Amino acid sequence: MTPPLRKILHADCDCFYAAVEMRDDPALREIPLAIGASAERRGVIATCNYPAREYGIHSAMPTARALRLCPHLTLLSGDFDRYREVSAQIQAIFHELTPLVEPLSLDEAFLDVSAVSRFSGSATWMARWLKEECLSRTGITLSVGAAPTKFLAKIASDWEKPDGLTVISPDRVDDFLLRLPVNKLHGVGPATSARLDALGIATCEQLRTLSLDDLITEFGKFGQRLFELARGIDNRDVRVERERKSISVETTFAHNLPDIDSCRPALLPLCERLEERLARHGYPPVSGIVIKVRFDDFTLTTLESQGLAPSQESYDRLLEQAWARAKRPVRLIGVGARLLPEAKRRQLTLPLQ
């Protein structure tokens, strides 16, 4: 039985926070510009414009490093109230097209347009309309990808950034996938990528030569996912109105970390990525922090602390307690922030650091 064909759009603003700043102050357009917390606060870059990217700066990079790469970088701490306002305008445009909108952050969303009859049902024309409306009403450019699945729509929106429009129609899915590098697949991070590389697998065409059995032996449960993604299968629905309860990032290590001392240095890059994710969500109020550790025997332990703000020091303390529960080599560490429920946000907020 073939499932009904879906039309999914992934819409993503181009360097959103920087774009809002450049819109409001044209003097910033041609110079390297980044939004992020200061180096003194051990901040990371949340967004930067294209002139800054030419210096090798990218989001989640420590601000101190960005300033070494480009000493004349214009660094702004960011006006998140203003970004949230523009975000609300853009999300409203999405909702004019379909009620099936799943926001991923302030500047990014999936839209399920399978049932939309406007534009003769053409996803390409819908994507064009979104781009035009967004630009004319907010002055911000969008990149949009259209595809039959979420993971392909997301890859497509990134394909011709900035101001991109990439459509992967159902008949082009196979062609597109065969040449696709495996590290573009949803969930394939550096560790999986390195192991695939060691197996001589660089593209989805090569990935398809591995049997489901092989993949499960090599990657556990994720092996099944790899098997499906390489064939364009991704049945995740666009999920509407889900209140985000936490924001987290995690890393599976290419080699297990033997002890607590070797785990500690891994926290810094994780905390930097978490900080960038929090920034992408406009710094929602945080009610506590959580750490997750998976040991070499695949047992998982999580530890939560209410009332702590996300900082490397807090995670360090939690990590030590979590590790002490098993005292085994570690294959994965995750750090997260628990978000204050929307209903409580007006009553209490914690400072971020």
Longest alpha-carbon distance in the chain? 60
List, in order, residues 6 or more apart from 63 with CB less than 8 Å away. 34, 36, 37, 38, 39, 42, 43, 44, 45, 75
Restricted to residues 165-204, the positions that interact with Mg ion (CB under 5 A) are: none
Considering only residues 89 through 128, tell me which ones interact with Mg ion, judged by CB under 5 A: 107
Instruction: Quote the distance between the C-alpha of residue 215 and its chain's center.
Output: 25
Backbone angles phi, psi at 221, to 5 degrees: -60, -35
Cβ 176 to Mg ion, closest distance in Å?
A: 21
Q: CB-wise, 104 or 173, nearer to Mg ion?
A: 104
* Nearest CB to Mg ion, comparing residues 156 and 204: 156
Q: What's the min distance (Å) between Cβ of 16 and Mg ion?
A: 5
Q: Which of 21, 85, 96, 108 is catalytic?
A: 108
CB of 39 to Mg ion, least distance (A): 24
Question: Residue 275 interacts with Mg ion (CB under 5 A)?
Answer: no
Q: Tell me which H or E stretch contains 227.
A: helix 221-230
Q: How many residues bind Mg ion (CB under 5 A)?
A: 3
- Which position among 6, 7, 12, 18 is part of the footprint of Mg ion (CB under 5 A)? 12
C-alpha 154/C-alpha 110 separation (Å) is: 8
Q: Which is nearer to Mg ion, 13 or 267 (CB)?
A: 13
Which SS3 state, helix, strand or coil, does residue 163 take?
coil
Considering the complex, what minimum distance in angstroms separates the CB of residue 144 from Mg ion?
Answer: 11
Give, as one character, the DSSP assignment of residue 261.
Answer: H
Judge whether 107 is annotated as a binding position: yes
The conformation of residue 109, written as its DSSP 8-state character, comes to E
Whichever of 12 and 276 has its CB closer to Mg ion, that residue is 12
| Omega before 269 within 30 of 0, i.e. cis | no
Q: Is 108 a catalytic residue?
A: yes
- Catalytic center residues: 108
Applying CB under 5 A, which residues contact Mg ion?
12-13, 107
Q: Which residues are annotated as a binding site for Mg(2+)?
A: 12, 107
